[in-house]
Amino acid sequence: MTQPEIIDESGDKYKYGFVTDIDADTAPAGLSAEIIKLISRKKEEPEWLLEWRLKAFEFWQTMTEPTWAKLSYDRIDYQSLHYYSAPKQKQAPKSLEEVDKNLIDTYNKLGIPLKEQEALAGVVAVDAVFDSVSVATTYRAKLAEKGIIFCSISEAVKTHPELVKKYLGSVVPYTDNYFACLNSAVFTDGSFVYIPKGVKSPMELSTYFRINAKNTGQFERTLIVAEDDSYVSYLEGCTAPQRDENQLHAAIVEIVVMNNAEVKYSTVQNWYPGDKDGKGGVYNFVTKRAACRGVNSKISWTQVETGSAVTWKYPSCVLQGDNSIGEFYSVAITNNRQQADTGTKMIHIGKNTTSKIISKGISAGFSNQTYRGLVKVTPQADNARNYSQCDSLLIGKTCGSHTVPYVENRNKTAVLEHEATTSKISDEQLFYCQQRGIGEEEAVSLIVNGFCKEVMQHLPMEFAIEAAKLINISLEGSVG
């Protein structure tokens, strides 16, 4: 295939199922110390990082894939995957003009042309991750003025090794879990953000992830550090081209939040969910965690998840600093044969820490969805507060929804509240909308958007619009 093509005409709803024909520099399949050395060499990494990777790989070999999630999928053959693929470029591009034209075309199809982004005059700075290597970074200069570092993590390894060395693995150690360990051994690229003391980021930082080359596992690694009294809002948006083989994605996001600092992390995830019969689609095993290390620090996760065939994801907040706040706002939509086991962990360690969980799950078709959440209060965490609300909406009779809230409380002063509901779009609601002239699909999207409203209002404006569209696309054909 030489020309990218959109698969829409085949009746498939996934708009972004095209493949960019780029000469990729792909390592042979399989995972071994040699491959890891190759990745490290290709990326011209320092010795300490290679050693860290190899330690992770060694540890990974002693681990077994977790099976506790309510997910069923064919076993992943880790030796058949490729662990490195980078678009070939003679030299790092200095501007967008030097970027491979095919890449730019791909972004155009996704509706995120970098040129337009640039013209948006400081609204969003984009660090575009295409497969594994960052190919374009914009607004660097403006951010640099404020002392903000926003670059690919491989670049940060070279330019700010002391920061990367200090924080990498400090929130998610490589021993944490199977997929995080794998990522630590083979991660290829991702974003690095450093907000210095007292700085509020003048714009929202944004990264678009794409999975492109065939059979390439995607192992992103993102590290965000917010020093005392700083603020940043970070957006992550994802789409992937269509593939028949399942694509493995095991990312890590680590966030460190110091005294009085605040980080808002928003995600719209739209990876290929597989076709109507569950063929193809992305396997998404992600470890996302933020440590509120300082007093009065705050982390807020907002996510809209519509994609992937299999999702395993629990963005978490470790509330170490006194008075720190953790929030989790989530909308997860599954249709057809999609499966999602997702939720959050709130770990209260500091005194007077507060957490809030608002989770909205929508299941349609033959999909299955589980909310799995942990609220943990340690003995020293006096006056911890948590409010959890988990609502599920079912569309049709063949989908499933499950709620598994874990609570571990070791402190008598804690106040923990949990509310959960399961509902259906009722025939009465549909009839009411239709009797007013609103078509059935529009009615469903209206009702679903109403159901998600509490979460959607936490998304930045431009993201919220994109997310609302995504919800509609995801549910097309789920009624009637």
Partner 1 sequence: MNAPLLEIEDLCAEVGGKSIIKDFNLTINEGEVHAIMGPNGAGKSTLSYVLCGKPGYKVTGGSVKFKGKDLLSMSVEERAREGIFLIMQYPVEIPGVPSTTFLKHAVNAIRQHRRQPELDTMEFLKLVREEGRKLGIDNEMLKRAINVGFSGGEKKRMEALEMSILKPDFAILDEADSGLDIDAMKIVAESVNRLRNEQRSMLIITHFQRLLNYVVPDFVHVFADGHIVKSGHKELAQELEQNGYAEYVREK
Binding site for partner 1 (CB under 8 A): 426-429, 431-440, 442, 446-447, 449-454
Q: How far is the CB of 443 from partner 1 (least distance, A)?
A: 8
Within the chain, how many helices (H) and strands (E) appear?
11, 24
Q: How far is the CB of 402 from partner 1 (least distance, A)?
A: 22
**Encoding tokens for residue 432?**
């009411």
Q: How far is the CB of 423 from partner 1 (least distance, A)?
A: 9
Q: How far is the CB of 439 from partner 1 (least distance, A)?
A: 5
Q: Among residues 143 and 357, whose Cβ is nearest to partner 1? A: 357
Q: How far is the CB of 419 from partner 1 (least distance, A)?
A: 14
Q: Among residues 384 and 425, whose Cβ is nearest to partner 1? A: 425
Q: Among residues 346 and 447, whose Cβ is nearest to partner 1? A: 447
Pairing of strands 262-270, 310-313: unpaired
Q: Which of 88, 89, 87, 85 is nearest to 26 (CA)?
A: 85
Q: Among residues 183 and 363, whose Cβ is nearest to partner 1? A: 363
Q: How far is the CB of 452 from partner 1 (least distance, A)?
A: 7
> How far apart are alpha carbons 357 and 322 in whole angstroms?
19
Distance set, CA 312 to CA 70, 187, 245, 342 (Å): 9, 18, 18, 6
Q: Among residues 175 and 449, whose Cβ is nearest to partner 1? A: 449
Q: Among residues 406 and 432, whose Cβ is nearest to partner 1? A: 432
Please provide the distance, in angstroms rounded to a whole number, between the alpha carbons at the two ends of the chain: 36
> How far apart are alpha carbons 123 and 202 in whole angstroms?
9
Element (H, E) at 41: helix 33-42
Element (H, E) at 24: strand 24-26
Residues 6+ apart with CB under 8 A from 200: 230, 231, 232
Q: Among residues 124 and 357, whose Cβ is nearest to partner 1? A: 357
**Encoding tokens for residue 69?**
């999630």
Write the Ramachandran bin of 474: left for phi over 0, alpha for psi from -120 to 50, otherwise beta.
Answer: alpha
Q: How far is the CB of 391 from partner 1 (least distance, A)?
A: 9
Length of the chain equals 480
Q: How far is the CB of 453 from partner 1 (least distance, A)?
A: 4
> How far apart are alpha carbons 417 and 373 in whole angstroms?
13
Q: Among residues 317 and 332, whose Cβ is nearest to partner 1? A: 332
Pairing of strands 368-377, 339-342: parallel
Q: Among residues 159 and 426, whose Cβ is nearest to partner 1? A: 426
Q: What is the DSSP string of 288-309?
A: EEEEE-STT-EEEEEEEE---S
